[in-house]
Amino acid sequence: MPDWDLSQPTRQSILGVVVYLLRNFRALLSLLITAVIIGAAKPQVWIVVGIAVIPFSVIAALFAYWQYRNFTFQLDGDDLIIRKGVIFKERTVISADRIQTVKIAESIVQRILGLVALKVDTAGSSGSELEIPALERKAALLLKDLLYRKKEEAEGLAPEGADSAVQPDGAEDTVRVRPATEKKVLVKLNIFDLLVVGLTENHLKTGLLALAVVFGYFSQFMEYLQDYLEAYVDEYARTLANAGIAFALSALILFAAVSVLLSVIRTFLRFFNLKAVLLPDAVEIETGLLKRSYDRIPVRKIQFAQWETNPLRRLAGFESVRIRPSDPVGQANKQQRTEIPALRRKASAALAAGIFPGYEAPEGGFRALASAYTRINSIIAGALLLPVSAVLWHQYGLPGLFPLFVLPLTALFSYRYGLKVRILFDSRFLLVKKGWIFPSRLVLPIHKLQSVSVSTNVFLKRRKLCHLNLYTAAGARRVRYLREEEAAQMYNYMLWCVEKSDEDWM
C-alpha cells in the first residue's frame, strides 16, 4: 500500500454509503415495528405504510450518501480532526495526548463489505467519543498505529531511536507500517472451549436479563396487543391456575433450559474465535462473531485485573480474567472492561507477569472476620424469609420449616465465604482473595491507588470492625469486615507506599 497522506481531509471507503444506509434503517426499526402492530389493529394503516416505503427509502439512501460525503478526517500535527453532519455540521478536534484507547470493530455487514470501524476513547468521554465507521482494514490498522505513535510522542514515551511513523519533507502525516514486535499468544478459543465457557456462565443472570428485555420491549405495545391477547390470557390463566405446582415446576425447568441456551448463544456471539495476545507494552484482544472487535489496552493504563472461576470451569482447567484500564470519567464504565473468559494456569501467570511487571503474589496480610459475614447475612436472610414463611403458613397451612432449613445453610455458606476473604500486600502490589465456591483474586499495583478510606457504622463500631475502600481510576473496590486496628495499619502503609512511589498511575 502506498504512503497514505492524512494532512488533507480524507474520506472513508465509498462502501460506507451502505453502512450508513443500514444504520439509518436500523434506527427506524422500532418505528416500523410500531407501525406493523398498529396496522394489525387498523388495516388502513397498511396502506399508509406501503405508500410511505418508497419515498422513505429514497430519502434514507440520499441521507446516507451525504453522511458519507460530509464525513472527513485528517491529522494536523498532533490533532485528529473529524468533520461530519448533514443538517447539523460538527467539527471535532482531539489531541493525541487525550487519546485513551483506539479500537477496531466490525459488524457482520462491515465484514461482508471488507470494512471496519475505528473507535477512539478519550479522556473525559463516557464511551466511544469518536468513530470512523467505514475504513478498509489495512487503512484502519495503519491509522490506529499512527495515533498510538503520536500519543507516545506527545507524552514523551516513544523509545529513543524508534522508527517514526511521521515522514518529514512536508508529508507530515504519511502512514508507514511499524516493525513487528514480540508477541505471546495467551489464548485462542476453539468451539469446544466456547461450549465449556457457555455452559459454565451465570445462567440465572442471563435468564433474568432476557426476561427484563422481553417484558420491557413488549410493554411498549401492550395497548395495541391487549385486544388480541385478552381472550387467550383469560382462558389459559384459569388452566394454569388449576395446574398449580405442576405448572410452576414446568415453568422453572423451561426457564432453566432457555437460560442455559441463551448463555451458550451469548458466549458464541461475544467470544467466537477469541484471540488474546500479550505484547511488551499492551494486551490485544480480538473477539466476536456478528460484531467483531479488536481491542488494544496499553499496559500502563491497566489499573487492576480480577481472576474468577467456578467449580465447572475449574474442572475444565479454566479461569476468566477481567482487565480494567483507567476510566477517565471516574465511573465504573463497563465499556472500558475487557474480559478473557478462559485462561489456563500457565497463560494466567504469563498475563499477570506481562501486565504487572515484577509481580509476585504477596504473602503477608490480614483476614476478614468470618463470624461477621455469618451474623450479617443470617440477619438479612431471616428478614427476607420471615414474610415468605408467613405467606406459606397463611395460604397453605405449611409450618415455618422453610426458614429453619435455609438459615443454617446461609450461616454455613457465609462463614466459609468469610474464611476465604483475605487482603495481602507488600510495598508494590495488593492482592485481594474472596470466594469459596466461586473464588476470585484481584491484583492491584499499590501505586495505582488514587485514594484509600475506612468506613464504618454504628453496628460495626460496636464490634471494632470496618470496611476498607480502595479507589482507582477504573473504579472502587471494598474489603468488608476487617478489624479496625488491622485496617488502620493497611491504610497508613498503602498511603505511604503511594507517596514514595515515582511510578505513574496512568
* Interval 219-233: pLDDT, tens: 665 555 555 555 555
pLDDT band, residue 195 (cuts 50/70/90) = very high
At 39 the pLDDT is 61
pLDDT band, residue 497 (cuts 50/70/90) = very high
At 222 the pLDDT is 59
Of the given ranges (113-122, 152-161, 469-478), which has the lowest mean pLDDT?
Answer: 152-161
At 331 the pLDDT is 43
288 close to 282: Cβ distance less than 8 angstroms = no
Q: Which comes out higher in pLDDT, residue 250 or 177?
A: 250
Of the given ranges (1-10, 188-197, 233-242), which has the lowest mean pLDDT?
Answer: 233-242
Average pLDDT, the chain: 82
Q: State yes or no: pLDDT of 169 exceeds 60.
A: no
Q: Which residues fall within 8 angstroms of residue 404, CB to CB, at 6 or more apart?
A: none
Q: Cβ of 219: how many Cβ atoms within 10 Å?
A: 10
pTM value? Answer: 0.78
Q: Which residue has the cell 514514595?
A: 500
At 237 the pLDDT is 57
Q: What is the mean pLDDT of residues 2-16?
A: 82
Q: State yes or no: pLDDT of 485 exceeds 70.
A: yes
At 297 the pLDDT is 87
Q: State yes or no: pLDDT of 29 exceeds 90.
A: no
**Mean pLDDT comparison of 114-128, 253-267, 386-400, highest-scoring range:** 253-267
Alpha carbons 487 and 369: distance in angstroms, whole number: 12
Q: Which residues fall within 8 angstroms of residue 72, CB to CB, at 6 or more apart?
A: 9, 10, 11, 82, 83, 84
pLDDT band, residue 322 (cuts 50/70/90) = very high
H or E element in which residue 149 lies: helix 137-154
Alpha carbons 132 and 451: distance in angstroms, whole number: 36
Of the given ranges (102-111, 326-335, 345-354, 415-424), which has the lowest mean pLDDT?
Answer: 326-335
At what angle are helices 370-396 and 401-420 packed, to 10 degrees?
Answer: 160
pLDDT band, residue 172 (cuts 50/70/90) = very low
At 170 the pLDDT is 40
At 326 the pLDDT is 80
140 close to 116: Cβ distance less than 8 angstroms = yes
Q: State yes or no: pLDDT of 392 exceeds 50.
A: yes
Of the given ranges (195-199, 240-244, 338-342, 478-482), which has the lowest mean pLDDT?
Answer: 240-244
Q: State yes or no: pLDDT of 328 exceeds 60.
A: no
| Alpha helix ranges (H) inside 344-369 | 345-355
Q: Is the dihedral of CA 245, 246, 250, 251 positive or negative?
A: negative
> 3-state DSSP call for residue 95?
strand
Q: Cβ of 246: how many Cβ atoms within 10 Å?
A: 10
256 close to 203: Cβ distance less than 8 angstroms = yes
pLDDT band, residue 365 (cuts 50/70/90) = very high
